[in-house]
Amino acid sequence: MLLGLVALCGCSKDRYRVVEGCFEPFEVEVGDSQHIWPLGGNAGDDELIAHGFVGYLASMGASHSKETLPGDTRLLLTGRMVQSHPTVAERRIGGSQRRVVPEARVGGVAYLLIEPLPSWEERVAAHCRVETAD
Protein backbone atom coordinates (compact mmCIF):
# COMPACT_ATOMS: atom_id res chain seq x y z
CA MET A 1 0.00 0.00 0.00
CA LEU A 2 2.75 2.45 0.99
CA LEU A 3 4.66 1.65 -2.19
CA GLY A 4 1.54 2.41 -4.23
CA LEU A 5 1.16 5.83 -2.58
CA VAL A 6 4.81 6.68 -3.18
CA ALA A 7 4.49 5.67 -6.84
CA LEU A 8 1.32 7.74 -7.26
CA CYS A 9 2.65 10.86 -5.56
CA GLY A 10 6.16 10.67 -6.96
CA CYS A 11 9.43 10.72 -5.11
CA SER A 12 10.77 14.07 -6.19
CA LYS A 13 10.27 17.17 -4.08
CA ASP A 14 11.46 19.45 -6.89
CA ARG A 15 8.69 19.91 -9.43
CA TYR A 16 10.46 22.78 -11.19
CA ARG A 17 13.92 23.04 -12.67
CA VAL A 18 15.43 26.37 -13.71
CA VAL A 19 17.60 26.14 -16.83
CA GLU A 20 19.97 28.92 -17.89
CA GLY A 21 21.05 29.89 -21.41
CA CYS A 22 18.04 28.59 -23.32
CA PHE A 23 18.19 31.45 -25.84
CA GLU A 24 19.88 34.81 -26.24
CA PRO A 25 18.12 37.47 -24.13
CA PHE A 26 15.96 39.96 -26.01
CA GLU A 27 13.36 42.64 -25.32
CA VAL A 28 9.86 42.73 -26.70
CA GLU A 29 6.91 45.08 -26.29
CA VAL A 30 3.94 43.46 -24.58
CA GLY A 31 1.47 44.49 -27.31
CA ASP A 32 -1.79 43.38 -25.68
CA SER A 33 -1.94 44.11 -21.99
CA GLN A 34 -0.58 41.44 -19.67
CA HIS A 35 -2.14 40.61 -16.32
CA ILE A 36 0.01 39.82 -13.31
CA TRP A 37 -1.03 36.78 -11.29
CA PRO A 38 0.99 36.88 -8.06
CA LEU A 39 2.46 33.69 -6.64
CA GLY A 40 1.39 32.45 -3.23
CA GLY A 41 -1.14 30.03 -1.87
CA ASN A 42 -0.96 27.38 -4.60
CA ALA A 43 0.91 24.07 -4.66
CA GLY A 44 4.44 24.64 -5.94
CA ASP A 45 4.41 28.41 -5.45
CA ASP A 46 6.95 28.26 -2.61
CA GLU A 47 9.41 26.49 -4.88
CA LEU A 48 8.97 29.12 -7.63
CA ILE A 49 9.30 31.97 -5.11
CA ALA A 50 12.54 30.37 -3.84
CA HIS A 51 13.83 30.60 -7.44
CA GLY A 52 13.13 34.36 -7.42
CA PHE A 53 9.80 34.56 -9.28
CA VAL A 54 7.00 36.77 -8.00
CA GLY A 55 4.16 35.88 -10.37
CA TYR A 56 2.86 34.90 -13.79
CA LEU A 57 2.18 37.11 -16.80
CA ALA A 58 -0.78 36.23 -19.00
CA SER A 59 -2.86 38.12 -21.55
CA MET A 60 -6.15 36.78 -20.22
CA GLY A 61 -7.76 38.51 -17.27
CA ALA A 62 -8.64 36.92 -13.98
CA SER A 63 -10.54 38.06 -10.96
CA HIS A 64 -7.48 37.67 -8.72
CA SER A 65 -5.25 39.67 -11.07
CA LYS A 66 -3.99 42.62 -9.06
CA GLU A 67 -2.24 44.56 -11.79
CA THR A 68 -2.27 44.97 -15.56
CA LEU A 69 0.79 45.98 -17.55
CA PRO A 70 0.01 48.45 -20.34
CA GLY A 71 0.61 47.35 -23.94
CA ASP A 72 3.72 49.54 -24.33
CA THR A 73 5.55 47.78 -21.46
CA ARG A 74 8.90 46.25 -22.46
CA LEU A 75 9.57 42.68 -21.35
CA LEU A 76 13.10 41.31 -21.10
CA LEU A 77 13.08 37.61 -21.97
CA THR A 78 16.26 36.55 -20.21
CA GLY A 79 16.91 33.15 -21.78
CA ARG A 80 16.25 31.51 -18.41
CA MET A 81 13.42 28.97 -18.39
CA VAL A 82 11.54 26.86 -15.90
CA GLN A 83 10.82 23.22 -16.69
CA SER A 84 7.70 21.90 -14.96
CA HIS A 85 7.81 18.23 -13.93
CA PRO A 86 4.41 17.24 -12.44
CA THR A 87 4.19 14.19 -10.21
CA VAL A 88 2.68 10.97 -11.53
CA ALA A 89 -0.58 11.79 -9.73
CA GLU A 90 -0.72 15.28 -11.25
CA ARG A 91 -0.20 13.81 -14.72
CA ARG A 92 -2.53 10.79 -14.41
CA ILE A 93 -5.33 12.25 -12.32
CA GLY A 94 -5.09 16.00 -12.85
CA GLY A 95 -4.00 15.97 -16.48
CA SER A 96 -0.97 18.20 -15.89
CA GLN A 97 1.76 18.04 -18.52
CA ARG A 98 5.46 18.72 -18.50
CA ARG A 99 6.17 22.13 -19.95
CA VAL A 100 8.74 24.87 -20.34
CA VAL A 101 8.02 28.48 -19.44
CA PRO A 102 10.33 31.47 -20.10
CA GLU A 103 11.30 34.08 -17.55
CA ALA A 104 10.26 37.62 -18.38
CA ARG A 105 11.52 40.59 -16.38
CA VAL A 106 9.79 43.91 -15.98
CA GLY A 107 11.86 46.52 -14.16
CA GLY A 108 14.14 43.81 -12.77
CA VAL A 109 11.25 41.74 -11.34
CA ALA A 110 11.04 38.09 -12.49
CA TYR A 111 7.78 36.63 -13.82
CA LEU A 112 6.87 33.45 -15.67
CA LEU A 113 5.33 34.12 -19.08
CA ILE A 114 2.59 31.50 -19.21
CA GLU A 115 1.16 32.70 -22.50
CA PRO A 116 4.42 32.97 -24.38
CA LEU A 117 4.92 35.44 -27.15
CA PRO A 118 5.51 33.63 -30.47
CA SER A 119 8.95 35.17 -30.96
CA TRP A 120 10.71 33.08 -28.28
CA GLU A 121 9.67 29.51 -29.11
CA GLU A 122 11.89 28.95 -32.15
CA ARG A 123 14.92 30.24 -30.21
CA VAL A 124 14.89 27.59 -27.45
CA ALA A 125 17.99 25.38 -27.27
CA ALA A 126 17.50 21.60 -27.24
CA HIS A 127 18.75 21.20 -23.65
CA CYS A 128 15.87 23.38 -22.42
CA ARG A 129 13.01 21.50 -24.04
CA VAL A 130 10.99 18.82 -22.25
CA GLU A 131 9.11 15.87 -23.66
CA THR A 132 5.39 16.12 -22.94
CA ALA A 133 4.80 12.38 -23.37
CA ASP A 134 5.22 10.01 -20.43
> How many structural domains does the chain have?
1
Residue 5: its H or E element: helix 2-9
For the beta carbon of residue 39, count every other beta carbon within 10 angstroms.
17
**Secondary structure of 22-65 in HEC code, one letter for each residue:** CCCCEEEECCCCEEEEECCCCCCHHHHHHCCEEEEEECCCCCCC
pLDDT in tens, the chain (134 residues): 433 433 434 444 457 889 999 999 999 887 767 788 888 877 778 889 999 999 988 876 555 566 888 778 898 999 999 988 766 665 557 556 667 889 999 999 999 988 756 666 777 888 887 654 44
Counting Cβ atoms within 10 Å, is residue 89 exposed (0-12), middle (13-18) or buried (19+)?
A: middle
- What range defines the domain where residue 75 resides? 2-128
The pLDDT score that the predictor gives to residue 34 is 79
Residue 133 lies in a domain: no
Helix (H, G, I), strand (E, B) or coil at 11: coil
Residue 7 lies in a domain: yes
Residue 134 lies in a domain: no
